[in-house]
Structure 1
Amino acid sequence: MEYTLTMTFLTETGEKSNVSISDVKAGITNEEVQVLMDSLIENNIFENSKGMVVSKYSAQVTERQVTKFTV
């Protein structure tokens, strides 16, 4: 299984901005995600055309099962 964490933040302009991290561990907890999101906000890690991220909006983990075939 592959897991991707998608975090949605609100920017200083009030728009939503997404940050995705591939290959997160299975069973990542709500507390771990909250700490990560808080850290990204506090350290001003991301800025884009919508401005700096200023608050958390939502987060989700997407689980994807990949089956590879030999051809």
Structure 2
Amino acid sequence: MSKDLVMYFMDQDRKKVSLRLKDVKADITQVEVEELMDLIMQKNIFKLSAADIVTKDRAEIISSSVEQFKF
């Protein structure tokens, strides 16, 4: 089962932007996610929209599993 982390931010224009990281470690903590989001905002390393990211909105872990059928 894979786990993806989706982080939601607000930019200077008050628009929501999101960033998805695939296959995060299974035991990631809320503190680690908050620190990562703070670092993303502080370093301004991603240009997710026309305006800079200024605040965190929320984050979520999405778990998924794949069942394949072989023929």
If the length of structure 2 is used for normalisation, what is the TM-score? 0.91
Other-structure match for 1:38: 38
Number of aligned positions between the proteins: 71
Which blocks of at least 5 consecutive residues in structure 1 are unaligned? none
- Superposition CA RMSD, Å: 1.1
1:57 is aligned to 2:57 = yes
Contact 1:7–1:18 (CA under 8 A) maintained in structure 2: yes
1:47 is aligned to 2:47 = yes
Matched residue type, 1:66:
V
Which blocks of at least 5 consecutive residues in structure 2 are unaligned? none
Runs (4+) off by over 4 Å: none
Matched residue type, 1:36:
L
Identity %: 35
